[in-house]
Amino acid sequence: MGRILGVDLGARRIGLAVSDPSGVIASPSATLVRSGNASRDRAAIVEAAIEAEAEVVVVGLPRELSGRMGPAARAARAEVEALRALAPTLRFELYDERLTTVIATRSLIGAGVKRKERKDKVDQVAAAVILQGYLESRS
């Protein structure tokens, strides 16, 4: 199996993470700042997947704490459908991302990362948390 790209869709930024070639370890990769153009943002995600030589793209599904599908989860599903249409050769999967930003923020604080640097890194660390959970669920 090839690499897997993890994606944390945010309103302002999109966090990216990539797996190692064996699909065991997720690492933060990049943060894309939303351009205001959804098509351009989707193209950037697909380009990141191609550059990473990913075969699968795992997108965080922001369910409500109760597990219900709220507006954010419905928006993520719609985004994945648009990405599938743009890149039909890639496999897209959704993975529950509840509390990943909280986990990412706490891990950055624990690592002593300053507030300004956390803002720049939290989305890609959240993407790594999503991707690591996905990788572990498969084993």
Is 116 strand, coil or helix?
Answer: helix
Domain boundaries, the chain: 3-138
Query: Quick one: tokens of 83?
Result: 């990405």
Superfamily the domain 3-138 falls into: YqgF/RNase H-like domain (3.30.420.140)
Enumerate long-range contacts of 38-42, CB under 8 Å, 24 or more apart.
Answer: 38/82, 41/14, 42/79, 42/82, 42/83, 42/86
- The whole-chain average pLDDT of the chain stands at 89
* Prediction pTM value: 0.89
The amino acid present at 111, given as its one-letter code, is: A
- At 9, the pLDDT band (50, 70, 90 cuts) reads very high
For the four alpha carbons of 100, 134, 2 and 59, in that order, the dihedral sign comes to negative
Instruction: Report pLDDT digits (tens) over 83-99.
Output: 999 999 999 999 988 76
The amino acid present at 115, given as its one-letter code, is: R
